[in-house]
Chains A and B, each alone.
Chain A
């Protein structure tokens, strides 16, 4: 705790929302993210209703088992993140660092699998902006499917990547002993962001891969 006074002030419940300012700020940011992903998912749903023949059946193009496994990996990373939070609320520095590192590794694995999936799909001719997506799969209108798929999953992957970078910073601060049982705001708001990313993927996986 290099700045105990500031940290304590940050963690005081505020009169309005009864949560400390940084946490309230993260919640408001996440609410704006809800609208951002709603625009993407909403556009996908509308386009799919309007042009059902431009979209493939579940499993016809996308690798559902692989992505289901990857979804499970992201869910596991949420557990490790919440364990990191639980550890520091108990003042467990070792547990905090261990679970943060596990979360980083799982998140990196998730992004790695997504990149691998992109490479395989691209090799099969399923690329964003493709004019003739159906070359390999005999489905017309591939450009629409490819554009929506890569836009949604790409933006989500970017969010995961940003989360991993931020978590390295949180881990660095944890190594410096900046967090304690009385000062864990940074870990908590990092967790809020990470769980939100997990939550978005739960919806995306269902909408994009299964329906």
Chain B
């Protein structure tokens, strides 16, 4: 939870999320190679997802071991996708 005398800037994060969403929409229709578009869009989406997790879900103020717990499914998710991909 939020604490330690640090005031979370919820509306600043909201503004960054808004700008990133607009940037994503604009970027998606640029005349760029598909791989470059996909990479840029995924990076922006991950940035937004991290902002939500860190500030709105208050991971920033949680014990480090909860960070580890929260990150634990990520390698499993990669393994799942790769496993299905190889079977396809």
Which residues of A are at the interface with B, using a C-beta cutoff of 8 A? 16-19, 27-28, 31-32, 34-35, 38-39, 42-43, 45-46, 50, 58-59, 64-65, 68, 71-72, 75-76, 78-79, 81-83, 86, 89, 188, 191-192, 195-196, 198-199, 202-203, 205-207, 210-211
Contacts and interface: CB of A to CB of B under 8 A. Distances in A.
Q: Interface extent on B, as a size class?
A: 35 or more
B70 A27 contact: yes
B85 A46 contact: yes
Contact of B10 (A50, A82, A207): A82
Contacts of B53: 195, 199
Contacts of A206: 24, 41-42, 44-45
B69 A50 contact: no
Nearest to A30: B70
Given A18-B63, A206-B44, A86 B2 contact: yes
A57 to B, nearest CB: 10
A16 B65 CA distance: 9
Interface string B45-60: 1001100110111000
Query: Main secondary structure on chain B at its contact with chain A?
Result: helix
A81 B14 CA distance: 12
Interface of B: 1-2, 8, 10-11, 13-14, 17-18, 21-22, 24-25, 28-29, 37-38, 41-42, 44-45, 48-49, 52-53, 55-57, 62-63, 65-66, 69-70, 72-74, 76-77, 80-81, 84-85, 88
Contacts of B2: 86, 89
Contact of B70 (A31, A82, A210): A31
Of B29, B45, B62, B65, most A-chain CB atoms within 10 Å: B45
A64 B24 CA distance: 11
19 contacts: A32-B73, A34-B73, A35-B76, A38-B76, A42-B80, A46-B84, A58-B28, A58-B29, A68-B25, A79-B14, A86-B10, A195-B52, A195-B53, A195-B57, A203-B49, A205-B45, A206-B41, A210-B41, A211-B42
Given A68-B21, A206-B24, A198 B14 contact: no
A46 B41 contact: no
Contacts of B72: 31
A192 B70 contact: no
Contact of B25 (A17, A32, A79, A210): A210
B66 A75 contact: no
A72 B21 contact: yes
Of A45, A68, A199, most B-chain CB atoms within 10 Å: A199
